[in-house]
A and B are shown apart, each in its own frame.
Chain A
C-alpha cells in the first residue's frame, strides 16, 4: 500500500459528486492496514451476535443514557418503548430547553429512536426537539439543545441531522470537543448531499453513512473519512406516525444503528472513554474482525 487512505486528497465538495455511502453488497470496501488490539472482539465488546436465543448473554444498553436531538419522539409508539424525558428548545431569544409532551409532529425523531431501541432494548432514551414543523431547523436551536445534552451528561447523543450554516461552525466545534472530553459521545449521520455541513465532519464525533445490507449489527469502518463508519441505512423498518411502520432509506437511519451499538458496548464497559469506544467500534467492525477468516486484514 503506497499511500494510506487517510492521507488521500479530499474530494472537493462539488455538486454532481456522489456522496459518502457505499453499496457494500455490490462493491467490497477497500482493503487497508489493520492494527489489531488482539483481545477485542465482538464477544468482548457487547456479548457478540451469536449470543443465545432472544439475545441472552448480549448486552442490552441498560444503564446507558441516550439523547435524541431531532423532531421530537412519540413516546407511545411501540417501537420507541417509552422515554425518560421529553424536551423542546423553546421559541424566543433565550432558547431555553423546557419539558414538553412526548410527541413528534414530523415523525423523523420517532423513527430514529425506534432504531436505537431495536438494538439496545434497555437503553434510556430522552428526546430534545430542535427541529420544528418541517422547517429546516435553526442552527441556534440545534446548538442550544446540544449544549443542554452535553451539560446534562448523556453518554450518547444521536444527531441524524446537520446544519449547513457556517455561522454556527465555531460554537459547534467547541461544543463537540467539550462533549468528547465529558465522555458524551456524539453520533452524527453523514450528510448524503454534495454540501458542506457539520457537526458530522468533526473528528470528535462518530460519523455514520449507509451500507446496503439488511443486518442491523453489520457495520463497516471506512478508512477514507470523513464518514468513519457505514451502518445499515437501506430499507430500514422504522416507526411511522400513529404507531405504524414503513421502510426507509437514508443516513438518518444509519446513525442510530451505531448509537445503539455504542450503547451496548457502554452498558458492558461503563468506564470506557470516547477514544476507547471509537477504537472498540473499529476493532469490532465487520471488515476489521478476524472471525471471518481475516479477509480484510493485512499484517
Chain B
C-alpha cells in the first residue's frame, strides 16, 4: 500500500499506546464491575454462593488477563530471545494483557478456569505471536482464542451450566435470549422472545443471561461515547454496524408484522454491542481508510443478520468479525485509491445497499413462508398403536417410536440419534423422556434441559407434534 506523507511540521498526538491502553481499561472497568455485581453480589445476596463465588467474576477476569500477559512475556523471552530492556519495551508496547482480558469477557462465566487459560494462551500464541506479534496479526486474537474454546470445549462449558448463573437458573430458565429465539419456529412474538427475560429495559441494563462482558448494553454505550471522545476507537464502525443490524431487522420485523421491539431485541441481545465497540474496532485488525471502514461495518452488519438467522449457531457476531478481518487489506486498498470520480464511491455503496436489502428480504421471506407446521418434523410410519417419527435435533434427525393408547403417549423409544454424546447424556441423565410422558398434556410448560437445549427441545417438539397429529 502506498502511504502519502505530507511535509512537516507534525502535531504530536497525545495518544501513545500506553494512553490508549489506559483509556480502554477505564472503559472496561464499569463493565467488569457490573459483571461482578450481576454474577457475584446478586448470587451472594440470595445465598446461592459463598464469598469465593462472590469474587469469582473478578478472579475469572484476572486469570484471563494475567495468563495472556505471562504467556506473551515467556514467548518473547524464550522464542524471540529478547532480554532485559528489549523485553520490557516490547511487552509495554504490545497490549499484551488485552487479548486475555477480552477472552475472559466474551466467554461465559461457567467456563472452567483451565479452559479459560487455554483460550488465553491460544489467543496470544496462535492469534498474535505466530503472525509476528503486535501489529502483524490478521485476525482479532481474542476472538481466535474464544472460537477455539467454543469449538473444542463448547460441550464442557454447556454441561457446566452454560451461559446462565445460578440466580438466573431459578428465575429465568435455561438459555440465553438468542438461543431461545433460535429455538422458536418462525419469527416468534414479544411474549415468546422477550417476556421470559423481563422486558426490553432488562436487556438495556443487562440483567439477562450471557457472557461475562456482553450483557449490560447501557455501560457499553457509555464506554463507546467515552472512547470516541478520547479518540481511541474509530467511531464509524460501531455506529454503522449496529445501525445496519437495526435497519435490517426492522425490515425483517415489519415484513412479519412485528413492531419496533424486534430490532431493539436484536441489537441489545447477544454480543452485538460489545463486539461492535471493542472487537470490530481493534486498531490492528480493522481498516484505516474512511471508505474501508464504512464498507467493513456494513458487511459486518449484513453477515451478523445472515449468521444469526441462517446458521445452526445462535450468535453471529464472533464469526462475522473474524470473516471480515480477512478482507481488511482489500478494503483498505479500495479506500486508499485516489477518488477520480464520485462513481468510485457510489458503486461499492450501491452494491452494499443491494446486499443489505436482499439479505433482509431473504430472511424476512424465510419467516413468512414458515407456517405453523414444523418443517423439522416428519412422520415416517403411522399405525393404530404407534408412530415412527423423526425430528431434527442438534446433530441430525432423531428417530423415535412413540407408542400411544387412547390418545395418550405411553412409551417413547429412541431408535436413532446423532446428537453429540455429551449433550445427549445430559438428556438421558435427567430422565427427560419420562418427564415428557408425565406432563404430556402440558408440554409447553416443560422446561428444556439446561446445557442440552437443542436436543431436549427437539424431543419436546416431537411429542407436541405427535399430540397435534393425534388430535386431528
Pairing of A with B: no
Q: Which residues of A contact B (CB under 8 A)?
A: none
B positions within 8 Å CB-CB of A: none
